[in-house]
Amino acid sequence: MRCHEEGRMFASESTQGHALPGAGGPRGSVMIPTLMAVVVLLILGTTILTVSYSEDFNARREKSALLAFYAAEAGVHEALARMNLDTGGSSNDETEVIWATGTENADAVRDPRVVLGNPPDPSPANYSDSSIPSYRFWNYDPAWRYSGTGAGGEGNYPGATSTQQANLALAGRAFTYASASPRTLPSGSSYAVRVVPHIRNVAATWSFVDERAAAAAANTYYYKVTSTGTYGAQSALAQVIVKKYFFGLTIPATIAAGGGVVVGGNATVTSGESGDENPTGVAIQSAGTASATGSGEISGSVVNDTTFPGFEAIFGMTTTEMYANAGIKASYTSNTSNPGAVPSGTIGKVIWITAKDGGLKKDITFTGSGPGGYMIGSASQPVIMVVDGNLNLNTVTFYGAIYVTGVFRNQGGSQIRGSIAVEGTAETDILGTGAGDGTKIEYSKSVLRNINEKLFPFRPVKGSWDMSRG
């Protein structure tokens, strides 16, 4: 009993002399690393948020810049689309201002082009209206505006007075994006476009110049398209030089020949339908003599003993230049019928056929049958067909201009609208032995105008694109 009590007293004393585990000792030692960890996490989180915000801001800014670039490029493409619209149309496009007949706006001058052989005319009194579509730049009346006091630079109109000359910022044709346009941009995007003739003073003469500022070749016209695209606070600039051939069709007659011309059978050669006829009224111009035999008929005047004008005088460009623009180029060294390079139904092409064996010209023959016969070209998409050789047509429907260096002959019920030029001195025979009305060859200024507009559209010059942030 005593031993038991002494044991309890010993245990009690031992307990009182020692601290219990977890009680007392150094306090707060865990707080420091905890706070450090929290601070590190706060710094890391702030950094991540800052980087994320910066990345998001840059991404949104880059997207806006990209959309501005897209808008600027879209403006250039709309300008090209407008410039290549059918000039015979009557509709207006978006925000363009139509010149009012009779207002004689002193700042307005006619489109600086040579169309159908007519030179540019800076007189406001002669400015075109909707009744003269051949002078329209797009499918509505142009309003080339000028101001300033003779500042040199692009956009100056050849022959304009010093008060009509202008700098690039004020010359040309301008339009802006319209949300109603079928060419829809993303919401918030827009563009403003200006088109100016690319003209400089070369050797004291205002001339169209190419992208290197060198004087343009005859009948070659250059324009600068400048488009400023915007999206939000971002902007971008796109510029490109575009060019177009405005070759001067100076075909003097429905048929111009380097030799005599005979119209026989039941064929008819006419200076054209009323309103679409040759302005000169000439049906045939011959270096020899033109005559009609049998039931053949010539409707229009005949000019004999007149020197054949030649290729460049007719088309306003060299054979090399025309060949370079040919969409179909074919060469044959033997007589060929219905050449595969020009199938029936071919439209809207410059066609160049070489038919020679050494120095000997060979025959190219197109033969059709049934209504319409062999079809080449259409009224809206005519062709130019150059045959460096001999050409025979038999029941062919043709729209466009034909140029033959050798002999040209026709038979059957061919229907040809446009014009024919025969360089060869051999007799040109036009016979109509087919059924119905026989052959009818007639001048068509509307078809020839479509050649100029459709076969030689405005195209960007390679290497002239320049895009930058605004």
Cβ proximity of 383 and 399 under 8 Å: yes
Greater confidence (416 vs 434) lies with 416
> Which of these three, 184, 217, 246, is where a domain ends?
246
Greater confidence (135 vs 181) lies with 181
For 432-447, b/e burial (b = at least 16 CB within 10 A) is bbbeeebbbbbbbbbb
383 CB-near residues (< 8 Å, 6+ apart):
346, 347, 348, 349, 350, 351, 376, 377, 398, 399, 400, 401, 451, 455
Candidate ranges 2-11, 149-158, 183-192, 305-314; pick with highest mean pLDDT: 305-314
- Tell me the mean pLDDT in the region 193-198: 78
249 CB-near residues (< 8 Å, 6+ apart):
116, 117, 314, 315, 316, 401, 419, 448, 451, 452
Residue type, 353: I
Question: Both 196 and 231 in a single domain?
Answer: yes
The tally of domains found in the chain comes to 2
Radius of gyration of the chain (CA): 39
Mean pLDDT lowest for which of 32-41, 71-80, 280-289, 402-411? 32-41
The whole-angstrom separation of Cα 422 and Cα 25 is: 120
User: From the CB of residue 86, how many other CB atoms can be counted at a distance below 10 Å?
Assistant: 15
Half-sphere exposure of 87 (CA within 13 A, CB side): 26
Our measurement of the distance from residue 263's CA atom to the centroid of its chain's CA atoms, rounded to an integer in Å, reads 40
Q: Which of 202, 205, 255 is nearest to 409 (CA)?
A: 255
pLDDT at 375 over 90: yes
pLDDT at 290 over 90: yes
Question: Does residue 43 belong to any structural domain of this protein?
Answer: no
Q: How buried is 467 (Cβ within 10 angstroms: 0-12 exposed, 13-18 middle, 19+ buried)?
A: middle
Q: Assign 175 a pLDDT band (cuts: 50, 70, 90).
A: confident
Q: What is the pLDDT of residue 182?
A: 56
User: From the CB of residue 153, how many other CB atoms can be counted at a distance below 10 Å?
Assistant: 16
Task: For residue 306, give both structure tokens.
Answer: 């007149």
- Maximum separation of any 2 CA atoms in the chain, in Å: 166
> Which of these three, 213, 246, 279, is where a domain ends?
246
Tens of pLDDT, residue by residue over 221-267, are: 788 889 999 998 899 999 999 988 766 667 789 999 999 999 998 99
pLDDT at 369 over 60: yes
> Which of these three, 192, 222, 246, is where a domain ends?
246
Question: Both 154 and 285 in a single domain?
Answer: no
Question: Both 166 and 305 in a single domain?
Answer: no
Pairing of strands 363-367, 466-469: unpaired
Question: Both 196 and 160 in a single domain?
Answer: yes
- In this prediction the pTM is 0.63
Q: Which of 298, 222, 237, 263 is nearest to 458 (CA)?
A: 222
The whole-angstrom separation of Cα 284 and Cα 302 is: 5
For 146, the domain range is: 68-246
Question: Does residue 415 belong to any structural domain of this protein?
Answer: yes
Mean pLDDT lowest for which of 206-220, 293-307, 325-339, 382-396? 206-220
pLDDT at 167 over 90: no
The whole-angstrom separation of Cα 182 and Cα 95 is: 14
Mean pLDDT lowest for which of 16-20, 122-126, 193-197, 333-337? 122-126
Question: Does residue 449 belong to any structural domain of this protein?
Answer: yes
CA of 369: how far to CAs of 252, 341, 374, 413, in Å? 31, 19, 7, 9
Question: Both 220 and 335 in a single domain?
Answer: no
Task: For residue 147, give both structure tokens.
Answer: 């101001």
Question: Both 236 and 319 in a single domain?
Answer: no
Per DSSP, 125 falls in state G
- Tell me the mean pLDDT in the region 422-451: 86
Question: Both 235 and 303 in a single domain?
Answer: no
Q: What is the pLDDT of residue 187?
A: 85
Greater confidence (3 vs 146) lies with 3
Question: Both 214 and 305 in a single domain?
Answer: no
- Tell me the mean pLDDT in the region 73-93: 64
Question: Both 230 and 281 in a single domain?
Answer: no
Question: Does residue 9 belong to any structural domain of this protein?
Answer: no
Question: Both 169 and 275 in a single domain?
Answer: no
Question: Both 216 and 281 in a single domain?
Answer: no
Question: Both 424 and 375 in a single domain?
Answer: yes
- Tell me the mean pLDDT in the region 190-208: 74
Q: What is the pLDDT of residue 179?
A: 59
